[in-house]
Chains A and B, each alone.
Chain A
Amino acid sequence: MTDKVPVTVLTGYLGAGKTTLLNRILSEQHGRKFAVIVNEFGEIGIDNDLVVGADEEVFEMNNGCICCTVRGDLIRILEGLMKRRGKFDAIIVETTGLADPAPVAQTFFVDQDVQDRAWLDAVVTVADAKWLSDRLKDAPEAKNQVAFADVIILNKIDLVSEGELKEVEARIRAINPYAKLHRTTRCQVPLDAVLGRNAFDLDRILEIEPEFLQVDDHDHDHGHDHHDHGHGLKHYHDEEMQSVSFRIEGDVDPNKFMPWINELVQKEGPNILRSKGILSFRNEAKRFVFQGVHMILDGDLQRDWKPGEKRESKVVFIGRNLKKDELEKGFLATAA
């Protein structure tokens, strides 16, 4: 476990500022060494770091699961990088502007050799404050990247008014209210906003509450419980991509829940980009947490419910054309 390497995936539509963010990460004096997997060489080049070219070879796993795609080139490159273990502390994967983040993320769940050597820290999406609203209308890739993100760097805010900024934030939140959002110019964020997020670590799934508050640049992994949407945000509804969440005030029956969630992702997996849940199983002292990427689910019993902690069960789905009523009915039927 200790010598597993964290991997940060950097996505963002063409021109949003991925390379700027990458160069910031690499040039900051942090004493860490990175291996960087890029699609185009050129604008980056920091002597101390290992830069590897990739070619985004996405392929389907031969396991009858149509949306279970992985990045074959990434498996190969990680295998090669692991031969240079000790020469770097973390890996950053920069995807092309048109890339779907799912195959990159799925690579870390599907390939055992990759899993043994590396872990996915977070998907960070750089978005252009001026153009994102337009791209969300005409570029499905941009929408995917926002929906998939754990961290969104809303960049180039100096090019828009406060009103425009509020609007683009509202559009982001309509798709993905759970990601940490940072407003930046020239991607100026502290590194710990981007690295060391543990977004896919089941043990770190503490809360799945929407992040309606704009995150300022000190971290708060907190428990603020005042999510009345009263922060002056306009509310948008994205016709195609949404997030939905459901809550049961109390226990669910694992014998009902597990078959339901498994069947759901089998059937609706292609439309569900990300899923997450914290569940209170009947007669179980520990919380059950799960997360998923399309059809791939990862779940485990986590920490004990604390004395006085309200035992409740909550699930969240971010996806395309989600059948909200059906999902809600299905989940509520798993109540114990």
Chain B
Amino acid sequence: MSEATKSLTAHVTLIETGAEVVSAAFLGRTPAFACVDGTILFNEIGEERRVTPHPDAAILVAQSDGSRFITGGDDGLILATGVDHVSTQLGDEKGKWIDALALGRDGAVAWSVTKTVRARDAKGEIKTFTAPSSARGLAFIQKGYRLAVTHYNGVSLWFPNMAAEPDVLKWAGSHLDVVVSPDARFVISAMQENSLHGWRIADKKDMRMTGYPAKTRSFSWSHDGQWLATSGAEACVIWPFQSKDGPMGKPPRECGVRPVRVSRVAFHPSALIVALGYEDGWVMLCRMTDASEILVRSVSGVAPDEKGRAVSALAWNNDGRRLVYGTEDGQAGVLDLPA
């Protein structure tokens, strides 16, 4: 991208999804949008194809593993839908809402329904763990087959294939979403009280990351695992994880400061560039090295009904040349970075 470029809006292909985008991703080369109305929209070359894996239901959670969209609905179904538009059922919770979803390596999938947490390995074997209270967030630890599960007063680290009781990282309060550092050393949860709490797994040492005006609901690790970008403030707050102590005693970086809160963050797959989505529908790219900013999408309306709704989904493709976004009001786009 050239230094002079300040706006890439001309390089965005606009897409109307018709419903809130829960998650956006590239399935191979195809931009795809999992929408709250139970559908997945595939933006194929020359045409849009819509499939409905969850008829008459809402998709509550969705994530892509790069070739399939895994979706959990308020119909209780966990489905995997590929670019061939075929859906495979991974789980059925009999009409109960799927609260959280996580994808692991090698095709493992985990989901939760209130206190019930299930992990399904690539062979299809499902193991169950009952959390002490509702499990709001799940994340696989990228080392062995182990799942971090948030609940009230802490995070449980569960080995689905072992009989042992899960290890518990304790901290008073309600823990929501959770992420694990790619080197499997740190667990970070978002809390009800607009802060993050982290633990170093090895010695369970606590880290408090505070100062957010709202809950953090979106996390993204940089490609080298050294930075964690977070939403929930009127800027993207990026915590340093280079040292063995993680961000302890170190201030975070900020980028993309605007008078509007950041709602989604997505680090570029190979550069220290982070894509940011805002609560008013704006999308920007920020380069950490010089804090330069490039506009991807702006919404200019002033009247309440012209104002953009929050960006609810954001993802890069594998080589980092394309970005997809989606919003709560069903506006989506694909950015193709100029050569």
Contacts and interface: CB of A to CB of B under 8 A. Distances in A.
Interface of A: 2, 52-53, 55, 57, 59-63, 70, 72-73, 75-77, 80, 83-84, 111-113
B192 A62 contact: yes
B96 interface: yes
Given A52-B97, A80-B74, A73 B114 contact: yes
B134 A55 contact: yes
Given A57-B134, A62-B173, A112-B215, 12 more contacts: A60-B173, A62-B174, A76-B136, A77-B97, A80-B74, A80-B97, A80-B99, A83-B20, A83-B58, A83-B74, A84-B58, A112-B194
Contacts of A60: 172-173
Contacts, number: 57
A61 B96 contact: no
Contact of A76 (B22, B134, B214): B134
Interface in B193-218: 193-194, 214-215
Contacts of B36: 83-84
B174 A59 contact: yes
Contacts of B192: 61-62, 70, 72, 75, 111
Contact of A57 (B96, B133, B193): B133
Interface in B292-332: 304
A80 B73 CA distance: 10
B152 interface: yes
Greatest chain A CB density within 10 A among B36, B192, B193 is at B192
B60 interface: yes
Contacts of A75: 192
Interface in B143-200: 152, 172-174, 191-194
A84 B99 CA distance: 15
Contacts of B134: 55, 57, 72-73, 76
27 contacts: A53-B96, A59-B133, A59-B152, A60-B172, A61-B193, A62-B172, A62-B192, A62-B193, A63-B193, A70-B192, A72-B133, A72-B174, A72-B192, A75-B192, A76-B99, A76-B134, A76-B136, A77-B97, A80-B74, A80-B97, A83-B20, A83-B22, A83-B74, A84-B36, A84-B74, A111-B192, A112-B214
A215 B20 CA distance: 44
A159 B219 CA distance: 59
Given A55-B134, A57-B152, A80-B74, A62 B97 contact: no
A60 B172 CA distance: 9
Contacts of B194: 112
A83 B21 CA distance: 10
A62 B189 CA distance: 14
Contacts of B172: 60, 62
Greatest chain A CB density within 10 A among B20, B174, B191 is at B174
Contacts of A52: 97
A78 to B, nearest CB: 12
Contacts of A111: 192
Nearest to B114: A55
A3 to B, nearest CB: 10
A70 B36 CA distance: 27
Contacts of B193: 61-63
Contacts of B214: 112-113
A55 B130 CA distance: 15
A83 B136 contact: no
B191 to A, nearest CB: 7
Greatest chain B CB density within 10 A among A52, A63, A73, A84 is at A84
A83 B174 contact: no
Contacts of A57: 133-134, 152
A52 B113 CA distance: 13
A57 B36 CA distance: 26
B60 A83 contact: yes
B207 to A, nearest CB: 15
A77 B134 CA distance: 11
A246 B166 CA distance: 55
